[in-house]
Homo-oligomer: A and B are copies of this chain.
Amino acid sequence: MRRTIEWRNGTVATIDQTKLPHETVVLEMRSCNEVADAIKTMKIRGAPLLGVAAAFALALTAYNSKAKSKEELIKELEKSAETLKRTRPTAVNLFWAMDRILAKSKNFFGDTKELIAFVVDEAQKIADEDAAANRLIGKYGAELIHDGDVILTHCNAGALATVEYGTALGVIRAAWEQGKKIKVIATETRPKLQGARLTTYELKKEGIPVTLITDGMVGYVMYKRLVSMVVVGADRIVTDAVINKIGTFTIAVLAKEHNIPFYVAAPKSTFDFSRKSDEVVIEERKPEEVTHAGSYRIAPEGINVLNPAFDITPFDYVTAIVCEDGVWHKKDFGKFKANFYK
Residues of chain A at the chain B interface (Cβ within 8 Å): 21-22, 154, 185, 187-191, 193, 196-197, 200-201, 204, 209-221, 223, 246-254, 256-257, 290-291, 293-300, 302-306, 308, 311-312
> B201 touching A217 by the CB < 8 A rule?
no
Q: Is the CB of A298 within 8 A of B217?
A: no
Shortest distance between the CB of A313 and any CB in chain B (Å) = 8
Bound-state CA distance A197–B22 (Å) is 26
Q: Pick the 5 closest A-B CB pairs, nearest first.
A: A216-B247, A293-B293, A219-B250, A215-B216, A219-B249
Residues of B within 8 A of A256 (CB): 257
Closest B residue to A312 using CB positions: B223
Which residues does chain B contribute within 8 Å of A217, judged by CB atoms?
246-247, 250, 306, 308, 311
Q: How far is the CA of A213 from the CA of B257 in the complex (A)?
A: 23
18 contacts between A and B (CB under 8 A): A21-B299, A21-B300, A189-B216, A190-B215, A191-B214, A197-B298, A204-B302, A211-B303, A212-B306, A214-B215, A215-B216, A216-B250, A217-B246, A219-B247, A219-B248, A250-B254, A293-B296, A294-B296
Instruction: State how many angstroms separate the Cβ of A151 from the closest Cβ of chain B.
Output: 14
Give the secondary structure class of A's interface: mixed
Residue from B221, B293, B304, B308 in contact with A212 in the complex, judged by beta carbons closer than 8 Å: B304
A334 to B190, CA, bound (A): 39
Contact B220 A311 (CB under 8 A): yes
Residue of B nearest to A183 (CB): B304
Task: Kindly state the separation between the CA atoms of A290 and B212 in the bound complex, as whole angstroms.
Answer: 8
A304 engages B210 (CB within 8 Å): yes
- How many angstroms from the CA of A214 to the CA of B200 in the assembled complex? 20
Tell whether, in the assembled complex, residue B299 and residue A196 are in contact, meaning their CB atoms are under 8 Å apart.
Answer: yes
Q: In angstroms, how far is the closest chain B Cβ from the Cβ of A242?
A: 13
Would A250 and B293 count as touching, CB distance under 8 A? no
Task: Tell me, rounded to whole Å, the shortest Cβ–Cβ distance linking A284 to chain B.
Answer: 11
The answer to whether B214 touches A190, judged by C-beta atoms less than 8 angstroms apart, is yes
Chain B residues near A304 (CB, 8 Å)?
209-212
